Structure 1
Amino acid sequence: MGDRIENSPYKFKMHTNETDIFLCRTDPLSGGDFKLLKKRIDEMYQVNLILDNLPAIRYPKKESYFLRWTGYPMGIKVQDAYYVFNHLKFTVLVHKYEEANVARVMGTGDGSELIPTVGSGGSELPGYMVVGFEVVPCSVMHDAQSVKKLKPYGKYPSPIKCDPTTVAMLVKENEPIVFTYEVTFEESDIKWPSRWDAYLKMEGSKVHWFSILNSLMVITFLAGIVLVIFLRTVRRDLTRYEELDKEAQAQMNEELSGWKLVVGDVFRAPANSGLLCVMVGDGVQILGMAVVTVMFAALGFMSPASRGTLIIGMLFFYMILGIAAGYVAVRLWRTIGCGDKKGWVSVSWKVACFFPGIAFLILTTLNFLLWGSHSTGAIPFSLFVGLIFMWFCISVPLTLVGELLWGKGTAY
């Protein structure tokens, strides 16, 4: 999900423009690293950077308008050659604030307590808020030998021209790669509450209305065919039954056929009725979680500024809707059993543990595989076990509450 943040080597000084900054020189690419880098470029891996909680956004020029994406590609393949983007041109949009209390503008979060107010401590320097973060990736051919003794964040020996329309840094085996960057600060009229508007109005992702309408037409056509066949079959059978006289009906009592057999099948308990109730209850819980999450996201309660709120919201709604899952499962169990209350406790436990149990087995297996390949996997695995335990302690009682809402009158 990209929720884990790592510190990057890039360093900015507030409202200080810098150009031709040398970042690092890699070791010569080994055969394995060379193949891995080409594979990542083929798979269109993206590099995502964050500054003051704002993702880096890219503005490539196309005709008379701009297309917007977050992040930038690691490299590009031209015919059979691979090129890497090794120079980044950053543009940081800042807005000068003149409020006496920064918290009143920014709220209590986003590091407002770390930014001094204007005039505090005798300083008359203006304060700035970051309201935009843009990046232009370039592929520049550097001389690896000229920077062999250069320290990080030093000045590159020669001026660097960043042209995003051309590529020059060819990826070669047993050859190092030099990374550089530049940063420019620009004052902007964008206010702090509006700094996420550029991300919410991205033009890069279009809704495929033609495909949606095409799918709806196909579904409508198929549904119409099924409905016509169903109505004709039922009408033919009903007409035949109405035309039969009493004597003919008496002769057919021994071998009923057609739609009259449905009368007995509707109220017959299905095989594995307990599993049916469990799956229906969990289905209602998952469907309700999806619907409620989408509604809250559409209403703007899950802002992209708060990273991870979507996953947290889904888990929260899933646990709360355990009440609905328990109610639906036990009610269906009672309906199939003609009001018999026996076995509803077993159904309740299965509803609470069925889907979480499957997720637990899958994720535990994946975590064990990751733990075996990475020594640092013990910490995520322990956190996952704690999350599953908390999930169990919350979802089981809520599921039992839902079942008690239906079974209270007869079970106790």
Structure 2
Amino acid sequence: MGDRIESSPYRFKMHANESDVLLCRSAPLSPPDFALLKRRIDEMYQVNLILDNLPAIRYTRKDDYFLRWTGYPVGIRVGVDYYVFNHLQFTVLVHRYEDPNVARVMGAAADASDGAAVPANAGKDASAAPGWMVVGFEVVPCSIKHNPEDARAVKMYGRFPSKIKCDPSTVSMSIKENEPIVYTYEVSFVESDIKWPSRWDAYLKMEGAKVHWFSILNSLMVIAFLAGIVFVILLRTVRRDLTRYEELDSEAQAQMNEELSGWKLVVSDVFRAPSNPMLLCMMVGDGVQILGMAVVTILFAALGFMSPASRGTLITGMLFFYLVLGILAGYASVRVWKTIRCGDHSGWVGVSWRTACFFPGIAFLILTTLNFLLWGSQSTGAIPFSLFVVLILLWFCISVPLTLVGGFLGAKAPHIEYPVLTYMHLCVEDWKWWWKSFFSSGSVAIYIFLYSINYLVFDLKSLSGPVSATLYLGYSLFMVIAIMLATGTVGFISSFCFVHYLFSSVKAD
């Protein structure tokens, strides 16, 4: 999944340039390894390296401007021949701080893996030396034909006998069966005016952002235009009916009631309790919780509180907000429960408990099944199992009480009694709008799941075995359920507000 970072054999010394460094000489490529390497090159596998939390960035020239990429490809195919990038030219951009205290506060160390360090040639008086902070990490991959015999007498990190000239425009290291590959690298440190707070700007300004924003704005404009048209038509139709109804006197209303048709006939039934009301309340409460988590997380990320420099901040923030918003889930579910029961909040504790257990229970079932599938195929489940138990305990100790607190607030709240489809159902005298309003907007999850299956069948042909496909479908199902609850809740709340507005002016016998 690309979420685990392993230490690579590349070794840097702060502010110490090195060239023609031998990394290793691989064993002769066996037929299976040769076939695997060719397949990875065909699939355009990328190598992603990180130095001081900065991903390696690669520049390619196109016409008169440069394109930025993260990582570099394993190799390239030219005709029927396969070439591997076996030499890397690293460039580390560093910013100099004259005051050593500044570097020390930012994390000074004599190790290149830290954010700040003193030069390797600073001598004994390191405290008086300037501090250097890594503000950029660039890589240029090259394919160079080395003589394997020259690498036999050289130890790891030793100087390669022949001079290496990196030319990214040519490739020469073709891979063949039963032949080894020699890997080398070089590193140079370059002083830069980039300050520490600005070192992520190069990554946040990757090419393609303009097209991405244009597509988003274009979609928003189309959706806003269509929604505006539908809203205006619906509003004018409803207001015309209500205005004509309110202008009649009592006698005329009584006479009109005998000739009523459409949605006015279900005025006494529209707020009748639906089937399985508790399940509806649970799903609405969990949908509010998931939707609130998404909104708050995106808002905090947009404001810069979740920096990409801090790995794991996003998922940690999502879990934290999900747990805290259990209060909102309990409140929303009990509020709907109280509304359905016409102000009677008895049984709200059961609703809160079920809301707290519903979506986490689904997540527990799906993830446990997938974990057992992985444990059965890899037999490395001790650590994941212990972490999963901790997660369940955290959910039990935090999410459930918070949901119950929200349920208590909903039970004590005063009683206050996707509009287009709901209005169409009411016009044909169908008063059972509760579940239909939820699933009409939540049905977008079906499309997403079908698209996931389509992507699996036609674009993920390289998945190795049924275990990988099952994992993909399992996580897709987990995501789709969350989307269904969130979008269904939006449709239900909007329909509820619309129905309340529509029938608030109609007098019932």
* TM-score, normalisation: structure 2: 0.70
Per the TM alignment, residue 237 of structure 1 is displaced from its structure 2 partner at its CA by 7.7
Say yes or no: does 1:52 pair with 2:56: no
1:97-116 matches, within 5 Å, as 97-102=97-102, 106=106, 111=114
Indicate if the aligned counterparts of 1:48 and 1:71 stay in contact, CA closer than 8 A.
yes
- 1 CA distance for matches of 2:277 and 2:292? 22
Match of 2:312 in 1: 308
CA distance in 2: counterparts of 1:354 and 1:126, whole angstroms: 57
The answer to whether the 8 A contact 1:349-1:396 is kept is: yes
Match of 1:17 in 2: 17
Aligned-pair CA distance for 1:312 = 0.7
Percent identity for Structure 1 against Structure 2? 73
Q: What aligned pairs does 1:4-403 form with structure 2 within 5 A after superposition?
A: 4-102=4-102, 106=106, 111=114, 122-123=125-126, 125-220=129-224, 222-223=226-227, 226-227=230-231, 230=234, 257-403=261-407
CA positional deviation for 1:67: 1.9
Q: Using the alignment, how far apart are the partners of 2:308 and 2:226 within structure 1?
A: 39
Q: CA deviation at 1:149?
A: 4.8
Deviation at 1:103, TM superposition (A): 5.5
Q: Paired residue for 2:481? A: none
> Which deviations, in whole Å up to 9, do the C-alpha atoms of 1:42-75 show, x marking residues without a partner?
3333212121222211122223322222222222
Which string of whole-angstrom CA distances, capped at 9 and with x for unpartnered residues, describes residues 251-286 of structure 1? 66xxx7422234234212122221211111111111
Give, in whole Å, the separation in 1 of the partners of 2:257 and 2:322: 55
Whole-Å Cα distance in 2 between the matches of residues 305 and 134 of structure 1? 16
Check whether the contact 2:281–2:337 (CA below 8 A) recurs between aligned residues.
yes
Structure 2: distance between partners of 1:102 and 1:246: 81
In 1, Cα distance between equivalents of 2:380 and 2:266: 60
**1:250, 1:299 → 2: CA distance?**
55
Q: Which has the higher helix share?
A: 2
Are the aligned partners of 2:103 and 2:133 in contact in 1 as well (CA < 8 Å)? no
Provide closer, same or farther for how the CA distance between residues 378 and 27 of structure 1 changes in structure 2, counting only shifts above 3 A.
farther
Give me the whole-angstrom Cα distance separating, in 2, the residues matched to 1:333 and 1:262. Answer: 21
Where does the alignment leave 5 or more consecutive residues of structure 1 unmatched?
Answer: none
2:334/2:352 contact within 8 Å kept: yes
| Conserved? CA contact 2:335–2:413, under 8 Å | no
Q: Call closer, same or farther: CA 1:43–1:364 in 2, change over 3 Å.
A: farther
Greater Cα shift, 261-270 or 275-284: 261-270
* Equivalent AA in structure 1 for residue 41 of structure 2: I
Give 1:317 shift: 0.8
Aligned-CA RMSD value: 3.4
Q: Which is further off, 336-345 or 278-287?
A: 336-345
Tell me if the contact between 1:371 and 1:381 (Cα under 8 Å) persists in the aligned partners: no
Listed one character per residue, the Cα deviations across residues 171-215 of structure 1 (whole Å, up to 9, x for unaligned) are: 334333221111111122223333233223333544434433443
Counterpart for residue 499 of structure 2:
none
Rounded Cα–Cα distance in structure 1 between residues aligned with 2:174 and 2:122: 51
The answer to whether the Cα contact below 8 Å between 2:99 and 2:130 also exists between their aligned partners in 1 is no
The Cα of 1:26 is off from its aligned counterpart by 2.0
Residues 266 and 133 of structure 1, relative CA distance in 2, 3 Å threshold: same
Counterpart residue type for residue 90 of structure 2: F
Range with greater deviation from structure 2 (400-409 or 271-280): 400-409
Task: State how many pairs are aligned.
Answer: 407
Tell me the distance in 1 between the aligned counterparts of 2:117 and 2:162: 37
Task: Tell me how far 1:104 sits from its aligned partner.
Answer: 6.5
Paired with 2:108 and 2:365, the residues of 1 have a C-alpha distance of: 40
TM-score by length of 1: 0.85
Q: Could you tell me how far 1:308 is from its partner in structure 2?
A: 1.1
Over 3 Å counting, the alpha-carbon distance change for 1:250 and 1:115 in structure 2 is closer
